[in-house]
Amino acid sequence: MKKWLFLCAFLIATPTLAENWVQYAQTNQVSRYYDKLRMVNISGNAFIWDLHDLQSPVADASGKTYQSVLLPTEFSCRKHQRRILSTHKMSDRMGAGTLIMEQNTVGDWIDVAPQTPDDQLMRAVCESQ
């Protein structure tokens, strides 16, 4: 029960208020950050806000443009897997601006490949205990 209450508080927190983003990967198209203040470790699982800051605006199917994507993510530190808990596409960079699209479907567990940005993020959050 305590785990679920803490998880609910984690997910309810407004994503755009985070000011402590740490960059962990970058390409020509996207810079990736995590929020070091909202890392939570519970019984071998870790929760983190993952921010993908796009270098250029992208248009969704309805024609609305967004410049960043916030991904509350859960990692299974023991199984070396991750799943996306929801997706928030934001109009401005660094998770700011208007919410363009929100998808609250929890994704499937996916194996985290070694030496990838997801592996770097998983190590940062799982080793923070």
What is the block-wise mean pLDDT of the chain (129 residues), using blocks of 10 residues?
47 54 95 93 93 96 95 97 97 96 95 96 87
How far, CA to CA in Å, does 15 sit from each of 2, 64, 116, 128? 22, 20, 24, 21
Could you tell me if 61 and 89 are in contact, meaning their C-beta atoms sit under 8 angstroms apart?
Answer: no
pLDDT value at position 20? 86
pLDDT value at position 127? 86
Cα gap 75→84, rounded to integer Å: 9
The two structure tokens encoding residue 104: 């609250």
pLDDT value at position 59? 94
pLDDT value at position 25? 95
Q: How many angstroms from the chain centroid is the CA of residue 77? A: 16
- What's the predicted TM-score (pTM) here? 0.83
pLDDT value at position 19? 67
pLDDT value at position 6? 45
Domains in the chain, ordered, with CATH? 2-126 (2.40.128.710)
